[in-house]
Amino acid sequence: MIVATARAMNTNAPVSNLDPYSDAALIEPWDIYGELQDLGAVVWLQKYRMFALTRYDSVTRALNDAAAFSSASGVMMNDEMNLVLRGNALCSDGAEHRRLRRVIAKPLSPTALNSLKSEIATKAERLVERLVVKREFCAVADLATALPVDIVAGAVGLPQEGRERMLVWAEQMFNCFGPRNARALGAFPVLQEMMHYAKTQALRGKLKSGSWAEGIIDAADRGEVDHACLPVMMIDYMGPSLDTTIYAIANGVWLFANHPEEWRKVCDSPSNVPSAINEILRMEAPIQGFSRLLARDYDMDGIALPAGSRAIVFYGAANRDGRKFPDPHRFDVTRSSADQLAFGWGPHMCVGLHLARLEMAAIFRALAARVRRFQIREEVRSMNNTLRGFKRLAVSVD
Ligand code: HEM
């Protein structure tokens, strides 16, 4: 609903009192996203005093223009969190960002991942074989969590106790990314534990030799990045490498359970797996939104965004924008949704996307060879400020 224009903010943007972070919106955000899209290319969210970008065109323009939409002051929706992670790849701009990203991206290129490819495929086959025999399992805890925890946590290379905490840290970190609400405040202590661990335990001698995390320290020793950045750079691996993929896999199972005809297309023709992965990510983006700080005044289709204001970029909304994707709420694994935005867009586009795709493809290929139909027995959504997916998803399989 438009209540006024945001004169105090020196903008002519339409203003809305809609709340994309209410419990109801986290469960079912699509109507709110649709209303915000219809209000304009940019909308001022009264409750959070931030702009919302929900149209595909606005989101991609912002993500492509890092000089105007800066990440260096953080990409979260509250000041405390934006101070914590400054200096990692996610929260940096320009030449500094390219330097940090080069280091983080090294073990995540398609060539570097070749060594993990067959291990991922074999582990996915064995896991799915075991679960199918059981007939009923949790698509989150039993299926989606296994590969990321088994393979990725090992490759990151934290000491054992850190590996065991990674899932809890990551989930709570994504709560801290949101606006300063009860979910974020409740998660801050866990984030402090994660940062303390990064500073005191993610050190040479304690990390697995040859691991990705040790690779960051090697890069600092070679002078490629500053030693002072090491703890926050560890977060580039510790934060986004597990939950995102876990949520994506479970979201896929949920979509296929609700759309058996689409699952049949995958079973009948596993060559549909790559496009099905894009369509799963388009429909249910595991990360719904991050933010950017306006580094200068910006004009988006005649709407003024003043320097110093913050804009939330809703990947999840843009992926359901009918201006870009016809009939956007229809799940169709043969649709061409390669330019969906679940991995972001522009210079900060996800560095882990090849790995995430590898893991998802291995799981869905293994399932396609053995499961004709999923049935949901119980579903419990995760109420997280940033992540969209399930805490529990019990399914039975034929
Ligand atoms: C389905 C799984 C995944 C999803 C949906 C996802 C989503 C995203 C998104 C939306 C961004 C863009 C951030 C921005 O615009 O500011 C991003 C960046 C990033 N992701 Fe992922 N991610 C996934 C998996 C992974 C994995 C497996 C890793 C690491 C092993 C990873 C590491 C990163 C890092 C380090 C960045 C920051 C890149 C930069 O700022 O240059 N992600 N991811």
Q: Mutate which of 242, 244, 245, 313 to test ligand 1's pocket (most atoms within 8 Å of Cβ)?
A: 244
Distance CA 157, CA 378 (A): 34
List, in order, residues 6 or more apart from 319 with CB less than 8 Å away: 56, 281, 282, 283, 285, 325, 328, 337, 340, 341, 342
Mean pLDDT per 10-residue section of the chain, whose length is 398 residues: 50 96 98 98 97 98 98 95 90 96 96 94 97 98 93 89 87 95 94 90 92 95 94 90 95 98 98 98 98 98 97 98 98 96 98 97 98 98 98 97
Q: What is the pLDDT of residue 252?
A: 98
Q: Tell me which residue of 61, 115, 113 sits closest to 324, measured CA to CA.
A: 61
User: If you measure from the C-alpha of residue 4 to the centroid of ligand 1, how many angstroms do you get, rounded to a whole number?
Assistant: 36
User: If you measure from the C-alpha of residue 344 to the centroid of ligand 1, how many angstroms do you get, rounded to a whole number?
Assistant: 8
- Closest-CA residue, ligand 1 atom 23, reads 244
Distance CA 130, CA 262 (A): 24
- Closest-CA residue, ligand 1 atom 11, reads 350
Distance CA 267, CA 259 (A): 13
Q: Bridge-partner residues for 50, per DSSP?
A: 45
Pocket residues: Cβ below 6 A from ligand 1: 63, 71, 75, 89-90, 101, 104, 108, 236-237, 240-241, 244-245, 248, 286-287, 290, 315, 342-344, 348, 350-352, 355-356
- Closest-CA residue, ligand 1 atom 12, reads 344
User: If you measure from the C-alpha of residue 356 to the centroid of ligand 1, how many angstroms do you get, rounded to a whole number?
Assistant: 9
User: If you measure from the C-alpha of residue 349 to the centroid of ligand 1, how many angstroms do you get, rounded to a whole number?
Assistant: 7
Q: Tell me which residue of 324, 323, 292, 322 sits closest to 307, measured CA to CA.
A: 292
User: If you measure from the C-alpha of residue 254 to the centroid of ligand 1, how many angstroms do you get, rounded to a whole number?
Assistant: 22
- DSSP element (H, E) containing 128: helix 110-134
- Closest-CA residue, ligand 1 atom 32, reads 352
Q: Mutate which of 291, 350, 353, 364 to test ligand 1's pocket (most atoms within 8 Å of Cβ)?
A: 350
User: If you measure from the C-alpha of residue 331 to the centroid of ligand 1, how many angstroms do you get, rounded to a whole number?
Assistant: 23
**Angle CA 206–142–334, to nearest 5:** 110
Distance CA 283, CA 18 (A): 21
Distance CA 251, CA 267 (A): 18
- Closest-CA residue, ligand 1 atom 36, reads 350
Q: What is the pLDDT of residue 350?
A: 98
Asked if residues 103 and 216 have their Cβ atoms less than 8 Å apart, the reply is yes
User: If you measure from the C-alpha of residue 383 to the centroid of ligand 1, how many angstroms do you get, rounded to a whole number?
Assistant: 20
**Could you identify the atom of ligand 1 that is nearest to the CA of residue 89?**
40
Q: Which two tokens stand for residue 337?
A: 């949704």
Q: Tell me which residue of 98, 89, 107 sits closest to 290, measured CA to CA.
A: 89
Distance CA 93, CA 298 (A): 17
DSSP label of 149:
I
- Closest-CA residue, ligand 1 atom 17, reads 350
Q: Which two tokens stand for residue 324?
A: 């870009």
In one letter, which amino acid is 137? F
How confident is the model over 335-358, as pLDDT tens digits?
999 999 999 999 999 999 999 999
- Closest-CA residue, ligand 1 atom 20, reads 350
- Closest-CA residue, ligand 1 atom 18, reads 350
List, in order, residues 6 or more apart from 96 with CB less than 8 Å away: 72
Distance CA 230, CA 219 (A): 10
- DSSP element (H, E) containing 326: none
Q: What is the pLDDT of residue 87?
A: 86
List, in order, residues 6 or more apart from 131 with CB less than 8 Å away: 137, 142, 143, 397
SS3 category, 287: strand
User: If you measure from the C-alpha of residue 342 to the centroid of ligand 1, how many angstroms do you get, rounded to a whole number?
Assistant: 9
List, in order, residues 6 or more apart from 132 with CB less than 8 Å away: 370, 371, 397
**Could you identify the atom of ligand 1 that is nearest to the CA of residue 248?**
1
> Residue 222 to residues 4, 159, 215, 217, 218: CA-CA distances in angstroms?
55, 23, 11, 9, 6
User: If you measure from the C-alpha of residue 326 to the centroid of ligand 1, how many angstroms do you get, rounded to a whole number?
Assistant: 26
User: If you measure from the C-alpha of residue 133 to the centroid of ligand 1, how many angstroms do you get, rounded to a whole number?
Assistant: 34
User: If you measure from the C-alpha of residue 100 to the centroid of ligand 1, how many angstroms do you get, rounded to a whole number?
Assistant: 14
Q: Could you give phi then psi for residue 159, rounded to 5 degrees?
A: -60, 155
